[in-house]
Amino acid sequence: MKSVNYRHAPVMPQEVVAALLPQRGGIFVDCTVGLGGHAELLLRGSPEVRLIAFDRDAEAIEMARRRLGMERVTFVKADYRRLRQVLADLAVSEGEVAGVLADLGVSSMQLESSERGFSFQRDGPLDMRMDRSFGPTAADLVNSLSDRELADILLRYGEERSCFKIARAICEARKRSPIKTTLELAKIVERTVGWRRGRNTHPATQTFQALRIAVNCELDRLQDFVSDAVQVLMPAGRLAVITFHSLEDRLIKGAFRYEAGICRCSNWLPSCVCGAKAKVTILTQKPIVPSQEELRLNPRARSAKLRVCQKI
Ligand SMILES: C[S@@+](CC[C@H](N)C(=O)[O-])C[C@H]1O[C@@H](n2cnc3c(N)ncnc32)[C@H](O)[C@@H]1O
């Protein structure tokens, strides 16, 4: 493996290795290779590990390729929600995979590159696309959606209490000229809601999270992804998912419970219609969170939660 400068510290590295047991060897899938931190640890687990590494960000794939080399890794620039199709194309059979990892969200590289437009702390074009080859940018959304649509995004994906106020302020501001940069948007939000007493997070934190989730459709088909991952695992194979906010974590928790055979039908239905059948054992009744020591070294890990299940 070649060494390369990088700044993304993989979250809960020992916990991920303990969860996925790469020392057993076999085919592992890193659904979100990013800068390759977790992938490197999985490859180190055993010379018998072969890795299939997904990312929808071409720059991340390139950086991970430089870091990990191509001897034991197959890189795929694709959305991990296409997992089953991609594995079929690579002639990997269902039931052949020893472990799947999904470390959701954005990487430090994406957050720190001002030209990617993810951060309210760095001025850059209001882009926020993980895959820059297609799809609307955050600027397209803030300059074209109605105030109701914007408020809906802010509430649904950012749990932003001042969603209507912010949406109206955005619509007012764009009448003067289109909102093109991260700092323009951050200032509009800051002027509208101000700094909340007792909170030291920037007032635009939730607005940026919401737009990023909307631009990248981050919460779509997450539950189907968990089913697909379980489907490709071998018996006793493991799935580990790291989430960074409560919306994602709730979906993953629900999907794990469904795969563990826990019915998700409403109480008022006379009998089960969801067809939940136990396919996995949940290994983390409560999610694993970073240690105090890790948080001291990497404060960005503060909201991370790791959930693990094992195929029956
Ligand atoms: C938190 S970072 C992963 C960091 C990585 N574990 C490491 O140690 O360097 C998340 C990565 O997932 C990618 N990503 C997010 N959603 C994705 C999706 N639906 N399909 C493929 N990649 C995705 C992002 O582009 C980003 O590079």
Going along the chain from its start, the domains and CATH numbers come out as 13-105+219-311 (3.40.50.150), 126-216 (1.10.150.170)
Q: Give dist(CA 121, CA 123) in Å, integer.
A: 7
Cα of 194 vs centre of ligand 1, distance in Å, is 32
Phi first, then psi: what are they for 27, rounded to 5°?
-90, 125
| pLDDT (0 to 100) of residue 5 | 54
Atom of ligand 1 nearest to the CA of 6: 9
Cα of 141 vs centre of ligand 1, distance in Å, is 22
User: Which residue's CA lies nearest to atom 8 of ligand 1?
Assistant: 37
| pLDDT (0 to 100) of residue 7 | 64
User: Which residue's CA lies nearest to atom 14 of ligand 1?
Assistant: 32
Ligand 1 pocket residue status of 40, Cβ below 6 Å? no
Q: Are 126 and 162 in contact (CB under 8 A)?
A: no
Q: Looking at the DSSP assignment, which residues form a beta bridge with residue 243?
A: 305
Ligand 1 pocket residue status of 86, Cβ below 6 Å? no
Atom of ligand 1 nearest to the CA of 130: 25
| pLDDT (0 to 100) of residue 3 | 41
Positions in the chain short of pLDDT 70? 1-7
| pLDDT (0 to 100) of residue 2 | 42
Ligand 1 pocket residue status of 105, Cβ below 6 Å? yes
Cα of 272 vs centre of ligand 1, distance in Å, is 35
Among 107, 129, 215, 302, name the best residue to mutate to test ligand 1's pocket (greatest count of ligand atoms within 8 A of Cβ): 107
Residues 6+ apart with CB under 8 A from 226: 239, 241, 252, 255, 256, 258, 259
Look up residue 5 and give its amino acid. N
| pLDDT (0 to 100) of residue 224 | 97
Task: Specify the pTM.
Answer: 0.95
| pLDDT (0 to 100) of residue 4 | 44
Task: Compute how many other C-beta atoms are within 10 angstroms of the C-beta atom of residue 10.
Answer: 21
User: Which residue's CA lies nearest to atom 20 of ligand 1?
Assistant: 79
Q: Are 51 and 72 in contact (CB under 8 A)?
A: yes
Cα of 192 vs centre of ligand 1, distance in Å, is 32
Cα of 13 vs centre of ligand 1, distance in Å, is 15
Instruction: Report DSSP letters for 167-214, one per residue.
Output: HHHHHHHHHHS---BHHHHHHHHHHHH-PPTT--S-TTHHHHHHHHHH
Which residue, among 185, 150, 183, has the nearest Cα to 167 in the 3D structure?
Answer: 150
| pLDDT (0 to 100) of residue 1 | 42
